[in-house]
Amino acid sequence: MNITLRQLASFTTLAETRHFGAAAERLHITQPALSTQIRELEERLGVTLIRRGRGRGFALTPAGHRLLESAHRVLDELGRLTQVLKRSDRLEGPLNLGMIPTVAPYLLPELLPGLRQSHPDVALRLREAQTAGLLDDLAEGRLDAAVVALPAGAPGLIEQPLFSESFLLAGAREQIAALRRRHRRLSPLHLAAEQLLLLDEGHCLADQALEVCGLERSRATRADLGAASLSTLTGLAAAGYGETFLPEIALSREVAQVANLATLRFDAPEPGRVIALVRPDLGGADAGDWFDELAELLAEAGRHLIERARRL
């Protein structure tokens, strides 16, 4: 059956209005064009859909009633499909969001209460992965947006910076106290390579730490004790295995949860990073306000965490 959605829509409109003139006006076509569509639909289905009376009156046949039920289901399903495929201009419905592991455990708990209150219709689906994996998911359409550290390192992205944060040095209390006595103004260049604890290769925070210290990974202590998260890394540091870099958004949580952990700020200019929300540049398509709304919520959550960190 080579029938079209336009024909189904015309038929349902005609059945609802029960008047060719009213249906044609609603469809923005002429009455002869509407009559032609209904006649072609009947020919392609091989049934009579309407029984024409005198003048412009008509009634649906039994086949017409059955088609009307099916046509409503088809058109309703098409409407739902359109909503699934095209993100609303507003922040609502399913949201596939990615976050790097050095951001997600800290930013997400700060984000969710406000998001639920201001946007209760959002169904958040989170993917936590390293930057390379998130960029692949964005390129393949599995994510709507991702929170990463700049530079993202991929072309064809729209980037919205959210906040800038500093890195602090974290370690056991006695080691941090010794560093404070030894250096009135602490620079990353003062750190001993063999004492620096890093996340596994592929984490952007580890690469940034090496860069600000002017080191290559081969010269630094790799997290060969199984540290694949900041929480594990700060636990190792607090136990005296070395020092590590701690972003400001993680400070209040890690200090509260890890016994014997102390931190020390670097002298200006402090090392740090810029966290951004990124999404594919679709060339004007799917460029609604949802991205800006989400960026504003994320930025506010980040600011709260940084303000809390700077009061410690």
Can you give the residue ranges of every domain in the chain? 5-85, 93-163+277-310, 164-272
* Conformational region of residue 71, where left means phi above 0, alpha means psi within -120 to 50, and beta covers everything else: alpha
pLDDT at 219 over 80: no
**Superfamily holding 93-163+277-310:** Periplasmic binding protein-like II (3.40.190.10)
CATH of domain 5-85: 1.10.10.10
CATH topology for the 164-272 domain: D-Maltodextrin-Binding Protein; domain 2 (3.40.190)
164-272 has the same fold as 5-85: no
Q: Which two tokens stand for residue 243?
A: 């020092």
Q: Which of 63-72, 135-144, 218-227, 278-287 has the lowest mean pLDDT?
A: 218-227
Could you give the count of Cα atoms lying within 13 Å of 229 in the half-sphere of its Cβ? 12
CA dihedral (200, 206, 211, 217) in degrees, to 10, reads: -20
Please say if the pLDDT value at position 68 is more than 90: yes
Question: 222 pLDDT band (50/70/90 cuts)?
Answer: very low
What is this structure's pTM?
0.71
Per-residue pLDDT of 15-48, as tens digits, reads 998 888 888 999 999 999 999 999 999 999 999 9
On the question of pLDDT at 252 being above 60, the answer is yes
What's residue 223's pLDDT? 42
**pLDDT tens readout for residues 144-162:** 999 999 999 888 899 999 9
Q: Are 197 and 221 in contact (CB under 8 A)?
A: yes
